[in-house]
A = this chain, B = another copy of it.
Amino acid sequence: MSQDERKDIHNSDIPLVCQACEVRHQGVCGALEAEQLLKLSKHTIRKVIPSGSELHRGGEDSDRCSNIMGGVAKLSKLMSDGRQQIVGLQFAPDMVGRTFASESTVAVEAATDVRLCSFPRSVIEEIMSEAPELEHRLHLQKLKELDEARDWMLTLGRKSAVEKVASFLFLLATHIDPEKASDDKSVTLELPMKRSDIADFLGLTIETISRQLTNLRKRGLIDIQDRRTVIIADIDRLKSAMEQDLSK
């Protein structure tokens, strides 16, 4: 097995599990040398989390981090009386987990089935201290998440219900299969979560989500194939619906 037919510089000593990894170069692992990948891969577990189950309970400690290989995870916060707010969605190749002990009050749950590459927090932190480039990549990812969180604060604080739903659909269209951003202006969206999750993401109720989806449908902005499949007729018109109240 030491005889590898693709014996170029980059692949010779890279763990097989990483060689086969489709998101390695986009994720934080792209910053790692073969030696470090080997170290990390000794502690990794690949697993599939079924839709609806938790990767990390909010408010509890967790000493594991995971790269998302596929699927969608949701980050949520819970109030004592049960009110809930989803504060972010994570897609491949994002890394989830509370590095440096932050993110403690956020729960992580699989929205769809999620494929993970999971490892102990201590190992990734140790490698970070040796490989600044790894911390740099993670830093950049967190800066992106911060930008997205602040974008969403504008949506939560200042947009109407229609605008919120349009913003949600646009977010999905630009994050799921971004390479499939076709030449065409129409996009077929597989909604990765149910109405109650969408409501918790947008700070609305399920009834309002439902009403605004039919509102958008009646205006010809979207077509609803089935409850989980939405066809965006024209992504540009949807984009303009994000800032323009269509309630009247």
A140 contacts partner chain B, Cβ-Cβ < 8 Å: yes
Q: How far is the CA of A106 from the CA of B153 in the complex (A)?
A: 12
A85 to B142, CA, bound (A): 21
Q: Do residues B203 and A100 form an inter-chain contact, with CB atoms below 8 A? A: no
Are the CB atoms of A87 and B158 closer together than 8 Å?
A: no
Chain A positions 82-131 with a Cβ under 8 Å from a chain B Cβ: 83-85, 87-88, 99-100, 102-103, 105-106
Do A243 and B142 contact each other (CB < 8 Å), given the known contacts A136-B135, A150-B106, A153-B156? no
In the assembled complex, the Cα of A221 lies from the Cα of B114 at a distance in Å of 46
Chain B residues with CB below 8 A from A132, complex form = 132, 135
B103 and A147 contacting across the interface, CB-CB below 8 Å: yes
Query: What separation, in Å, do the CA atoms of A83 and B139 have in the docked complex?
Result: 31
Known contacts being A135-B136, A156-B157, A157-B202, is A81 close to B243, with CB within 8 Å?
Answer: yes
Q: When the two chains form their complex, are residues B150 and A83 in contact, meaning their CB atoms are under 8 A apart?
A: no
Mask of A176-220 contacts with B, CB within 8 angstroms, 1/0: 000000000000000000000000101100000000000000000
Write out the residue numbers on chain B whose beta carbons fall within 8 Å of the beta carbon of A139: 100, 135, 138-139, 142
Bound-state Cα–Cα, A85 to B159, Å? 10
In the assembled complex, the Cα of A244 lies from the Cα of B80 at a distance in Å of 9
Q: How far is the CA of A157 from the CA of B161 in the complex (A)?
A: 12
Task: Tell me which residues from 137 to 163 in chain A have a Cβ below 8 Å from any Cβ of chain B.
Answer: 138-140, 142-147, 149-154, 156-159
Query: Is the beta-carbon distance between B243 and A79 smaller than 8 angstroms?
Result: yes
| Residues of B contacting A202 in the complex (Cβ-Cβ under 8 angstroms) | 157
A77 lies within 8 A of chain B by Cβ: yes
C-alpha spacing A96/B14, complex, angstroms: 39
With A139-B138, A143-B103 known as contacts, the answer to whether A153 contacts B87 (CB < 8 A) is yes
A residues lining the B interface (CB < 8 Å): 75, 77, 79-81, 83-85, 87-88, 99-100, 102-103, 105-106, 132, 135-136, 138-140, 142-147, 149-154, 156-159, 200, 202-203, 243-244
